[in-house]
Structure 1
Amino acid sequence: MKQFFILTFFLTCLSVQAQFRTVNGGFARGGNRGVDSLANDEISVKLLGKTKFTDYKVINIKRDTSYIDTTLTIQKEYQHNFRRKDNFELLAFHNQGQTFNSLGYNFRDLSQFPDIGFSAKQFNYLNISDIDYYRVPTPTTQIMYKTGQEQGQVLDAIFTFNLSKRLNLSFAYRGLRSLGQYRRSLSSSGNFRATATYSTPKDQYNLKTHLTTQDFTNEESGGLTPESLQNFINDDPNFTDRGRLDVNLDNAESLLDGTRFYLDHNFKLFDSKDSTNTKNFSNLKVGHQLHYEKKFFTFEQGAITPSIFGEASKANGELRESSDYRLINNQGYLEFNSKYVLGRFRVKANYTTVNYGYDTIYNSNVNNINITKKRLIGDAIGLGADWNGRIGNFKVNANAMVTPGSGHLAGNHLNGEAIYEKDSVFKVKASLLLLSKAPNFNQQFFQSVYNKYNWENDFTNIDTRNIGFSFNSKWGNASVDFTNIEDYVYFDTDSLPKQYNGSITYLKVKANKEFKFFKKFALDNTIMYQNVSSGSDVFRVPEFVTRNTLYYSDHWFKGNPLQVQIGATFKYFTNYRANAYNPLLGEFILQNDTEIGFPTLDVFFNAKVRRTRIFFKIDNISSNFLEKNYFSAPNYPYRDMSIRFGVVWNWFI
């Protein structure tokens, strides 16, 4: 299936390239912003005349519009990884494509529905909010490549084109495979996505849709054995080749697989130009959204290992355990603009079904639990509304959904934000989240041939309340989040899900400021302070996390054809009892034996030639002269020093 998608992708690229050409048969060229910072902001295009960099639009699910950006900034350095996101609040495992431990948490925007779980496997999973839509005057391609550890690389290719001003298609595939430096750390994943947007000539009908298929395969090592752990900490010269260190599991593998289809389309019944309309009520639309998603999680072993996971219902033989989850959400809505609501208002109704479970019963009577069912099935009807209002520079966005009942989908969701923006000088945002929903399904119901890993829980809903403030300006950026969680569900030190009967109070303060000096030098600083005033026995974060990047940036050679960026990034987080990783669950669990906290120093040399950005990086150069106390989780060392290369290349045909 992967090969089919890849072949289709490149054949489409070739066919469209044959149809669209620039006047001079070459690529767009130019100076310093947007689409290669186009000289005079325009390209000559045979079919479309003059185009500007602002014509190459990227539109997210919230309808916010940005532009394809080929500049080289320090943020591009932070985002040059397999997730294509800044990992400041995450602690990576040594090999790309593996999981992350959490240095901080974001509670501003959470889904209203419980998920399958196995959250340690979903850091690279693309959700609905991660899918972008495009509108471009000429076919556009971006290729991102980066090497990994020990025979590893990631390639992310995006291709989009408009067949007309009203119809856009895009195809993208991100493939990753990396062997890793330690035994049993192979990572292999694929993220395919395809999008389409369409509108009729008078915008009477609009459609937006996407399809994703994603799979993530990881060999599971269980971390280093006690003896190998000491050899690592003591920096034994016989084990500088990390492949010589023994691991707890030598026959285990996990797979998370997901498929999603999303459709949002609406029909305009009448607008302000209709003779039957008034200025008080315009653009009345009736619409429909469909969200279909299916996920599988599979854990395989060549042989049972009771020394790691405890006693099992069978003594030997291979193990293959798989659970699946299917969510279907149909939403109908009525939307209109009115001066009485200062903008756009939508009323909506959901009908949602969910189906989670197993195809068989692995362990029917264990731990005093008589497991007689294979699946959790439910449906629910929800009612809600959205509001997007604006007065001058002040905007308000809010959405609410109430799902009554007592099933797996019952709960309520309210998310709102108020934004004041003064041109490009500064922006102030206040946000509010009130959420009540059931825990993830693997916390409610789980099966395994391992006796300990079987449960049916009747947890109450988790109540989450978050108040956030953000300030972004040319002088610096800052944010404050205050979160309260009631009935929090977590995996305890025994790997069993528990519900906390107290209240968690979590404060996060984050600030960023870049200082420039001597014209060509800059110091970019990000610091985060966190405090858990109640509930710290089950919810743990480091008190301080800091990242400081000192770099030099300039244009070299006559005519400034080459922009360079040379620098070093120092990152440090204070000691805390980081969660341990459980490969059978695909989750992080509490542990009380080990504290983690260490500095890292990365050195980089980046360059930009026309629309190509080149990245050279030495990861964790500090590992050569600091103690071997750097861990991503107990028994899982962080990466040693490694040299990596990457490139991002754009074509505008």
Structure 2
Amino acid sequence: MIFCSHTLLAQFNSGRFSGMGSGGGTMQRDTSRHEHEPDTLTIRYRYLGEPTDFMLDSSLNDWYRSFLRVPNSYVTLGNSGSAARNLIFTPRMTAGFDAGFHAYDIYRFTHDDARFFYTNRPYTELGYLIGNMQEQLINAQHTQNRTERFNFNFEFRKVSAPGFFKNQNTDHNGVRLTARFNSKNKRYHAFASFYNNKLTGGENGGIPSDTFLTNPDFKRRRTIPVNLGGQGGSFSFFNNSISTKNTYKEASIRFLHHYDWGKGDTVHVNDTTDYYKYDPFFRVQHTLTYTSSRYEFIDQQVDSNFYKNNYGFDIADTDTLFASHFWRTISNDLSLIQFPVRGNLGHFISAGARFDHTIGEFLDTSRNISFQNFSIHGEYRNKTKNQKWDLSAKGELYLFGENAGDYVVSGTLSRYINPMLGNVSLSFRNVNREPSYVYRYFGTNRVAWESTVDYGKENITQFQFAARNERLQYDLTANYFVFNKFNYFSNFAEAQQFNSLFNLLQVVFSKRFSANHLHWYADLAFQQLHGNSPIQLPTVWTRHRFTYEDVLYKNLNLVTGLEASYNTDYNADNYSPLLGQFFYQNTERISNYPDVHAFVHFRIKSFNAFVRGENLNTFLWKNNMSAPLYPRNNFAFRLGIRWWFVN
């Protein structure tokens, strides 16, 4: 895709390069002084463990993917940045220790999605959003190569939104820094990733009754009473005072380095260009990771009836309720990797072992724990040079420690057939895992819950068929899940394990229909549970975007139209603010009208603007509901801008 502006003359170089110094391949040398215009940009990035290069996304038609970076299928508790879950069910399928706090996951920086760049010119991206009720969002990124052998990338993200209802303020701050280095002879390579997240979400416990939404005396939604937080705290962009809130603080650093044995050659391209190519055949790789996570809840304006009715304990309205879980983990991983075919880093065999040491600290110090885990893992990957076949097989087994017996195995076979039939893949994944720790214990300064359930290991199996066709412009994914001993929360504080087998059929389809400048983007998900289960899902979720797209006056890229999303009625999960968990309920059915938005998105050179009128449906009907007693926002005007700079 065209990436930057005509004025900046910044465009993607289509040549592939060798994974930012991971040894081998053909790195594109910086030739801007000789062959290209002064501002020509070559930029690629990769994720750790993935041999494929990626380019930045400059599309305008999907606001959620390209700007908000929150999938549209996720539903929040009403406000931007509040606790969220996916309407297209996505079970957690990782082995090993897990604290269990995931309501704010979509706003986090992590190591798994950390990007390691190569760019021949410094690149900066700035984004800013302003909306109703003082909603603001800031995105900032800068990456540059100090030399061909060293690159760093900096990212910052802030989400600040008081919302339309009392005490649902959100204030998220995230920073991530990545860097990569390779030695002059391309034998030694190092990658570092650091992130720090502070995610704060106000918890109002929902409204007392949905009748307030149709009462003309409460057209100003801020006047509707809420179950927690009283009148709420003060709000400002840089200093929020939230009386009742969850705060998740996470900081982690990962250092991965490896040394290669292989063969190097100097390749002569032309009279002015030579580069050194190194093809490894054996690699020793070490990874050190340290992670610190603190999950806190505080209520400084207690509603005693709410806690008595929903959690079963007495507390005075003048008291403060506080909960804290603090986890620290240090992990060492050693892997041996062999590359059977010279010059193809996508074809390798790896085997390794990892040792983890974890410490957990709570308000009740007698509950503090410390434990270790030792696991072995292996992978076979064969991504052929012609890019047609991609075979992957992975496995990890916890041999001893707190999570002994946990494992995860997966396999994928992918084949690019031809331009007409596109790419088709078959996948399998099976995970056997210990329940997350929050299912076993949760403690506050007033009361603690320790589960009496004799938990077995949760087992989830996934079979997947996927097809992607760029010519016919569709994506199809079909999943079949089998669940055994599924863990879930059955009310505000009680965890359970469902001991019977049940399964889920899930089909997700996306298609683009075009007629000249008119486009219809259709997204559809179908979900069908078989057997008794502690999961409630909408049978159908769908989103449609009807757009007019054109290039006007040579450099004005315009996308304008309407967007609507809808899901069939179902018993939506309720939410426990004290524990920060969504939980199963089968008594209250949620039935909504479609969410409707109008938008004008455009790009002029390297400047992008997103002008949106959201929740137009509230002019005709009452607010849609995300969960029992959790209404979504009113009509909102949002203006977002994004600007690229090539320095």
TM-score tier by shorter-chain length is 0.7 to 0.9
* Aligned partners of 1:443 and 1:457 also within 8 Å: no
For residue 529 of structure 2, what is the aligned residue in structure 1?
532
Superposition deviation, residue 357 in structure 1: 3.6
State the one-letter code of the partner of 1:353: H
Q: Distance in 1 between matches of 2:530 and 2:67?
A: 34
> Post-superposition shift, 1:452?
6.9
Aligned partner (choices 239, 245, 249) of residue 228 of structure 2: 249
Partner of 1:65: 53
Would the aligned equivalents of 2:334 and 2:352 in 1 still touch at CA under 8 Å? Answer: yes
Counterparts of 1:534-573 in structure 2, within 5 Å, are 534-536=531-533, 538-557=534-553, 560-573=554-567
Shift of 1:506: 1.0
Work out the CA distance in 1 between the residues paired with 2:361 and 2:404.
15
Percentage identity across paired residues of the two chains: 18
Q: CA deviation at 1:220?
A: 1.1
Change (3 A) 1:402 1:562: same
Provide the rounded CA distance (Å) in 2 between the counterparts of 1:48 and 1:196.
28
Mapping 1:160-175, distance limit 5 Å:
160-175=143-158
Tell whether the 8 Å contact from 1:57 to 1:67 is kept in structure 2 after alignment.
yes
Matched with 2:500 is: 502
CA distance in 2, matches of 1:327, 1:42: 40
1:262 and 2:262 are equivalent in the alignment: no
Letter in 2 for 1:180: G
Structure 2 counterpart of 1:366? none
| Alignment of structure 1 residues 39-438 onto 2, 5 Å | 45-46=32-33, 55-61=42-48, 62-70=50-58, 72-75=59-62, 77-82=63-68, 84-88=69-73, 90-107=74-91, 110-226=93-209, 229-232=210-213, 235-250=214-229, 251-271=243-263, 283-310=281-308, 311-312=312-313, 315=316, 316-339=318-341, 343-360=347-364, 373-391=366-384, 392=386, 393-405=388-400, 407-408=402-403, 410-422=405-417, 426-438=422-434
Q: Distance in 1 between matches of 2:37 and 2:8?
A: 14
How far residue 33 of structure 1 moved from its aligned partner, in angstroms, is 6.3
Given residue 171 of structure 1, which amino acid in structure 2 is its aligned partner? Answer: F
Q: How far is the alpha carbon of 1:445 from its aligned partner?
A: 1.7
Distance 1:33 1:161 in 2: 16
2:463 to 463, 467, 470: 467
Contact 2:442 2:448 in 1 (8 A): no
1:445 to 2:431 alignment: no
From 624, 639, 652, the equivalent of 2:646 is 652
State the distance in 2 between where 1:184 and 1:95 align. 10
Looking at structure 2, the residues matched to 445 and 199 of structure 1 have their Cα atoms a distance apart, in angstroms, of 45
Give the distance between the partners of 1:526 and 1:580, measured in 2 at CA.
26
Residue of structure 1 in register with 2:7 after alignment:
29
Give the distance between the partners of 1:510 and 1:482, measured in 2 at CA.
12
**Change in CA separation of 1:293 and 1:605 when aligned onto 2, cut-off 3 Å:** same
Structure 2 counterpart of 1:198, one-letter code: F
SS of the residue corresponding to residue 243 of structure 1 reads helix
Give the CA deviation at 1:51.
Answer: 8.0
SS in 2 for 1:129: coil
User: Once the two structures are superposed, what CA deviation does each residue of 1:5-43 show, in whole Å capped at 9, x if it has no partner?
Assistant: xxxxxxxxxxxxxxxxxxxxx98736896489xxxx999
Given that 2:430 and 2:462 are in contact with CA atoms closer than 8 Å, whether structure 1 keeps it comes out as yes
For 1:640, the equivalent position in structure 2 comes to: 634
Contact 2:57 2:66 in 1 (8 A): no
Write the letter of the residue equivalent to 1:377.
S
**Aligned equivalents of 2:633 and 2:644: distance in 1?**
30
Q: Is the 8 A contact 2:573 2:584 kept in 1?
A: yes
How far residue 178 of structure 1 moved from its aligned partner, in angstroms, is: 1.1
Farther-moved stretch of structure 1 (387-396 vs 50-59) = 50-59
- The SS at the match of 1:643 is strand
Asked whether the equivalents of residues 158 and 171 of structure 1 are also in contact (C-alpha less than 8 Å), the reply is yes
State the SS of the aligned residue for 1:65. coil
AA partner of residue 29 (structure 1)? T
User: 1:230 aligns to what SS in structure 2?
Assistant: helix
> Please, which runs of 5 or more residues in structure 1 have no aligned partner?
1-25, 275-280, 362-372
Letter in 2 for 1:333: S
Mapped partners of 1:48, 1:32: distance in 2: 14
What is the deviation of 1:432? 1.3
The code of the aligned residue for 2:45 comes to V
Q: Give the deviation of 1:299 after TM superposition.
A: 0.8
SS in 2 for 1:309: helix
TM superposition shift of 1:569: 0.8
Aligned partner of residue 307 in structure 1, secondary structure: helix
For residues 28 and 603 of structure 1, do their structure 2 counterparts lie closer, same or farther at Cα, with a shift above 3 Å needed? closer
Seen in structure 2, the aligned counterparts of structure 1 residues 27 and 282 have a Cα distance that, compared at 3 Å, is closer
Q: Secondary structure at the match of 1:150?
A: helix
Distance change >3 Å, CA 34–CA 457, structure 1 → 2 = farther
Aligned length: 593
The alpha-carbon deviation at position 505 of structure 1 amounts to: 0.4
Tell me which residue corresponds to 2:584. 590
Instruction: Tell me what 1:492 maps to.
Output: 490
- 8 Å Cα contact 1:44/1:51 also seen in 2: no
The alpha-carbon distance between structure 1 residues 402 and 271, as it changes in their structure 2 partners (threshold 3 A), is: farther
Shift of 1:287: 1.0
TM-score by length of 2: 0.86
SS at match of 2:545: strand
- Partner Cα distance (1:52, 1:112) in 2: 46
- SS in structure 2 at match of 1:119: coil
Pairwise CA RMSD: 2.8
Using the alignment, how far apart are the partners of 2:246 and 2:282 within structure 1?
48
User: Offset of 1:534 from its aligned partner?
Assistant: 2.1
Q: How far did residue 257 of structure 1 move? A: 0.5
Verify the 8 A CA contact 2:109 2:175 in the aligned structure 1. Answer: no
Aligned counterparts of 1:241 and 1:334: Cα–Cα separation in 2: 62
1:81 deviates by: 4.8
Q: CA deviation at 1:301?
A: 1.4
CA distance in 1, matches of 2:126, 2:463: 38
1-side partners of 2:163 and 2:71: how far apart? 22
CA 1:356–1:81 in 2, change beyond 3 Å: closer, same or farther?
farther
- Kept after mapping to 1: 8 A contact 2:291/2:329: yes
1:509 is displaced (CA, Å) by 0.2
Residue deviations 1:157-202 (CA, integer Å, cap 9, x gap): 0000000111000111101211111100110011100000111122
Aligned-partner Cα distance in 1 for 2:262–2:604: 50
The CA deviation at 1:553 is 0.7
1:319 maps to a residue whose letter is L
- C-alpha distance in 1 between matches for 2:163 and 2:98: 29
TM-score (norm 1): 0.85
Distance 2:601 2:11 in 1: 17
Distance (whole Å) between structure 2 residues aligned to residue 456 and residue 441 of structure 1: 13
User: Hey, what's the Cα distance between the residues in 1 that align with 2:100 and 2:314?
Assistant: 24
**Structure 1 counterpart SS, 2:618:** helix
Task: Report if the CA contact (8 A) 2:608-2:643 is conserved.
Answer: yes
Q: Which amino acid aligns with 2:219?
A: T
**2:520 aligned partner:** 523
